[in-house]
Amino acid sequence: MYDAVGGQAFFDQLVDRFYDGVAEDQVLRPLYPEDLGPARTRLAGFLAQYWGGPPHYSAVRGHPRLRMRHAPFEIGAAERDAWMGHMRSSLASVELPDDIRTAMVDYFEMAATHLINKQPPTPPSETRRLPLS
């Protein structure tokens, strides 16, 4: 897949467009440090490696351990949906064969959902009263 999409340049472009959206996002921006440059580099490297490129990401960062690396951040449905919105927009901005686009969207949906670590508050349950005999 790495070669089919154009190599590292494709992933750099995809991630740049993604982070351009994140930079203005009120839900996601607070989760990132002021300088988005290192996050851009890490995500582009991870995606390139995941999709069949050279293992530069692992050489620098070790095993991806996505859940562990994201554990310090509260990620709920709103954060997941915002993240997916920016990634979908980024994917829509580049030309890709339908099968590759579908594979990428499917992966991103699975991965983003897997990283949710904050559940919505549970509404108070109705108090059930036992009938008096």
36's tokens: 């988005």
Task: Report pLDDT digits (tens) over 82-101.
Answer: 999 999 999 999 999 999 99
Distance, in Å, from the CA atom of 31 to the CA atom of 27, rounded to the nearest integer, reads 8
User: Which CATH fold would you assign to the domain 2-114?
Assistant: Globin-like (1.10.490)
- Percentage of the chain beyond pLDDT 90 is 75
Amino acid at 66: L
CA-to-CA distance for 67 and 115, rounded, in angstroms?
6
pLDDT tens sequence across 96-118: 999 999 999 999 999 999 999 88
pLDDT at 123 over 70: no
Q: Which two tokens stand for residue 46?
A: 């991870």
Residue 52, phi-psi category: left (phi > 0), alpha (psi -120 to 50), beta (remainder): left
| Cα gap 127→68, rounded to integer Å | 38
**Predicted model pTM:** 0.84
